[in-house]
Amino acid sequence: MIESLQTFIAALRAAGVPVSPAEAIDAARALAVVDVGHRDDVRLALRATLAKTRAGADRFERLFAAFFAAPKGATGRRRKRSAARGAGGGGRRTDPSDPHAGPQAGTGSSRKPSLIDAEPRRARPGRLTILAGQHPVFRTASERQAASSAPRPRRAAPGRASAAGRAARPQSAQPASPRRLPLAARLTRDQEEMLEREVPRLIREIRLKSSRRWRRARAGRPWIARVMRTNVGTGGVPFLIPLRRRRQRRPRIVLMVDVSWSVLRASSLFLRMALGFVQDAGRARVFLFVDRAAEATEQLAAWLRQPDGELSDVIRRIPDLDLMSASDYGRAFYQAAHARHALRAAARRDAILVVLGDARGNWSDPQAFAFEQLAQACRRVIWLSPEPAARWDTGDSDLSEYLPWCDVVCEAGDLEGLSRGIEELVRSL
Amino acid sequence: MGSPLAPDAAAIASAFEKSGFICPPEVATSLRLSEALNKPLLLEGPPGVGKTEIAKLWAGFHAADLIRLQCYEGLDEARALYEWSYGKQMLYAQLLREKVGDLIASAPDLRGSMAALRGQADEFFSRDFLLPRPLLAAILSERAVVLLIDEIDRSDEEFEAFLLEVLSDYQVSIPELGTIRARQIPRMILTSNDTRDLSDALRRRCLYLYVDFPGREEELRIVRARVPELPEELARRVVAFVASVRKSEVRRAPGVAEVVDWARALAALSASALDVETLRRSLGALIKNRDDLERVLRDAVRHK
């Protein structure tokens, strides 16, 4: 009983409900008072002693439901996982149309307790910026109301299942722009070629935008306080306007890119687009992962200098990277957070961590605490999700487990989204 | 350790229901735990859901005195804990002037007079001259008491910090008298309307229960129990109407006590249906704000 209580309290803490040791003792004492064979009594006793705010009580309820009522016949692993899911401050919605959804998706009993109605825990300073369509999780109450009263948009055609945010846009009969092609969809050869042609253009565009910004940054801003001193020779008449330059920072960049088959197209394009910029900025490290993170900085840098063959071939040859294994974000983050792992060493206070992935861990434990450790070590965390925002947190997606530790999350299901993410990265440099 | 003789939750619920209060299981269980663990119970929720009533009934359940400290902005120790009775001190000083004169008559100088008075003056700061305010009264009480610290969210943060000692150790420190421990641990209930965030330290020292508006069925039971003369069909319509008012954008959602008042008003008016005219005549018992009143009436006319 005490062990279960300890685990439950740990899960509560991970879900953002602060529980002090004194409260844990109170909870144990409360369990001695009530009938532990009566689930509701246990729930009420634990809630009264452990959840001390309304929001905390809401989270408690969801977590309790997850923790003490695993689906009938669930394995120990599934039970543990469902608890851990609640612990991360996020649950999932089941999307019956989701091809990635697990075997239980879409059934009433499979609905996981969801914490998504609760305010997402802001573990990092500032607000989480969402560069995406109107994902229902992050809508405000008024936006939700407006959305519910708005006329329902026409259903998107199959294969053009666009992000939720674009559902409101009028459907056009024109062929889709290559920048809007959903990267996860099956593409024709023509579309693949369009994508290929579009990538260099996008790179040029981003480079142009960022160079303008850098030029402005290099020139500096007028330094009013120095005007008098600079113009002493002219009696204070401001012939010269001194400029104050910003201190140039050269942050480390750590790219952690999921290269599993479901996101491989987006990953490859992202790497092609991002590497040029991060190599410019220097001090970039690239880690690829499916179920464990392997460093690929050298190989990718060599390929960039002299593109010899396809990028996918380079990825395939990375040692310690098993492209055939099932995605396991929890394991990858756990391993990367280990003190002796190269990624952990690269994740320093001045580092920007960019993760590209759909956060679909095949129902394995998301191990959000490991990601938290990595994120806490870095200055800024940007997550690019190659999935439409409407699919975030459905099925086996653990995105909401990781979002509390991110500064920016970007819907990057097409080239436009990817470039938006890269612009965000460039802006952070 | 907690009391092994803590009353059963069912017994609490049943006793409350006898007094006309429909007691949800979470309230009964929280009260029971509060008793068993000797911990204050913090009840948070919108106004009018019966938080204060719970404290009153809890006192009645234990046949204990209810000592109520109504919090407000600017409440300080002097109003909450104790005060010296300056009038009484002055009176005693006047009456004892001659005695004091005798006491210092033999002293050769000022230092000698001070030495003679030392110890005697402390008598003026003894418990005889202490005016206990609610907190101290609860601590000093020989009888069982329920201490209700009502609307704690209205008080200042300084006062909240001051309360911590009372809440955790059931004792208060008075500089002139030292630390005074509770003679018997008072049952403490704090209420908050959630108008500001209370400190974590205070929350940690309490058990917590959020008391929300009751569900429809529960509210119907309350109305039926408190206003049995109201026809059941009308009671149902009252409850449904109140639920719709709470969902609408009124500035202040009506509490349970106001619903009961309104039901009583309808019964007094011998109303048989909720028509616009009846609403116009009785709605003042439910809605206490002009804008809300106009809005609700307007909506009622529109959806007639």
- Among A26, A35, A64, the strongest candidate for a mutation testing the B interface, having the largest count of B CBs within 10 A, is A26
CA B14, CA B21: separation in Å to the nearest integer?
Answer: 9
Kindly state whether residue B3 falls inside one of the protein's structural domains: no
* Alpha helix positions (H), A220-296: 227-230, 264-281
- The answer to whether residue A162 scores a pLDDT higher than 50 is no
| Whether A282 and A408 share a structural domain | yes
| Whether A68 and A210 share a structural domain | no
| Whether B146 and B66 share a structural domain | yes
Residues above pLDDT 70, as percent of chain A = 68
Decide if A354 contacts A425 (C-beta within 8 A): yes
Q: Name which residue leads in pLDDT, A332 or B6.
A: A332
Q: What tokens does B268 get?
A: 């007094």
Q: How far is CA A14 from CA A11, A59, A89, A119, A188, in A?
A: 5, 11, 7, 15, 44
Kindly state whether residue A221 falls inside one of the protein's structural domains: no
| Whether A273 and A397 share a structural domain | yes
| Whether B90 and B228 share a structural domain | no
| Whether B28 and B176 share a structural domain | yes
Nearest CA in chain A to B1: A29
Which residues does A contribute to its contact with B (CB < 8 Å)?
A: 18, 20, 22-23, 26, 29-30, 33-34, 40-41, 44-45, 47-49, 51-54, 57
Residues above pLDDT 70, as percent of chain B = 97
B211 in contact with A at a CB cutoff of 8 Å? no
Per-residue exposure over B226-249, b if at least 16 CB sit within 10 Å of its own CB, e if not = bbeebeeebbbebbebbeebeeee
| Whether B113 and B248 share a structural domain | no
Q: How far is CA A321 from CA A290, A293, A309, A312, A331, in A?
A: 7, 7, 19, 12, 13
Q: How far apart are the first and last CA of chain A?
A: 50
CA A268, CA A259: separation in Å to the nearest integer?
Answer: 8
| CB-nearest partner of A51 from B2, B37, B208 | B208
The total number of structural domains that make up chain A: 2
Nearest CA in chain B to A29: B37
Last residue of a domain, one of A83, A110, A137: A110
What is the three-class DSSP state of B44? strand
Kindly state whether residue B303 falls inside one of the protein's structural domains: no
Q: How far is CA A202 from CA A205, A272, A273, A304, in A?
A: 5, 11, 8, 17
| Whether B57 and B178 share a structural domain | yes
| Whether B49 and B17 share a structural domain | yes
**pTM, 2 dp:** 0.51
**Minimal Cα–Cα distance from B26 to chain A, Å?**
6
pLDDT of res. A92: 42
Q: Name which residue leads in pLDDT, A247 or B156.
A: B156
B164 in contact with A at a CB cutoff of 8 Å? no
- Among B1, B8, B37, B192, the strongest candidate for a mutation testing the A interface, having the largest count of A CBs within 10 A, is B37
When computed from its CA atoms, the radius of gyration of chain B, rounded to whole angstroms, is 26
| Whether B169 and B64 share a structural domain | yes
| Whether B151 and B65 share a structural domain | yes
In this structure, what are the phi and psi dihedrals at residue B34, rounded to the nearest 5 degrees? Answer: -60, -40
| CB-nearest partner of A30 from B25, B33, B209 | B33
- The letter for the amino acid at A184 is A
Q: Name which residue leads in pLDDT, A196 or A218.
A: A196
- The answer to whether residue B99 scores a pLDDT higher than 70 is yes
pLDDT of res. B67: 94
- Among A33, A34, A38, the strongest candidate for a mutation testing the B interface, having the largest count of B CBs within 10 A, is A33
| Whether B73 and B145 share a structural domain | yes
Kindly state whether residue B135 falls inside one of the protein's structural domains: no
Kindly state whether residue A156 falls inside one of the protein's structural domains: no
Last residue of a domain, one of B210, B235, B258: B210
Q: Name which residue leads in pLDDT, A358 or A238.
A: A358
Contacts of B169 in chain A (CB under 8 A): none
- Neighbour count for residue A74 (Cβ, 10 Å): 14
pLDDT of res. A71: 42
Q: What's the farthest any 2 CA atoms get from each other in chain A? A: 89
**Minimal Cα–Cα distance from A46 to chain B, Å?**
10
Kindly state whether residue B116 falls inside one of the protein's structural domains: yes
Mean pLDDT of A376-405: 84
Decide if B98 contacts B53 (C-beta within 8 A): no
Decide if A419 contacts A385 (C-beta within 8 A): no
| CB-nearest partner of A48 from B2, B194, B209 | B209
Residue A421 sits in a domain whose CATH number is 3.40.50
Residues above pLDDT 90, as percent of chain A = 5
Q: Which of residues 49-108 of B touch A (CB under 8 A)?
A: none
| Whether B53 and B175 share a structural domain | yes
What is the three-class DSSP state of B208? strand
Q: Tens of pLDDT along B47-74?
A: 888 899 999 999 999 999 999 999 988 8
Contacts of B37 in chain A (CB under 8 A): 26, 29-30, 33, 49
Residue B160 sits in a domain whose CATH number is 3.40.50.300
Dihedral-angle region of residue A129 (phi above 0 means left; psi in -120 to 50 means alpha; beta otherwise): beta
CA B171, CA A64: separation in Å to the nearest integer?
Answer: 36
Q: Tens of pLDDT along B108-120?
A: 888 888 877 776 7
The total number of structural domains that make up chain B: 3
| Whether B226 and B285 share a structural domain | yes
CA A279, CA A429: separation in Å to the nearest integer?
Answer: 12
Domain residues for the domain of B161 are 9-77+141-210
Q: Tens of pLDDT along B6-61?
A: 678 888 998 998 888 888 889 999 999 999 998 999 999 988 888 999 999 999 99
| Whether B71 and B124 share a structural domain | no
- The letter for the amino acid at B110 is L
Mean pLDDT over the full length of chain A? 71
Domain residues for the domain of A409 are 189-215+252-428
CB-based contact A26 B30, cutoff 8 Å = no
Kindly state whether residue A238 falls inside one of the protein's structural domains: no
pLDDT of res. A282: 59
pLDDT of res. A75: 40
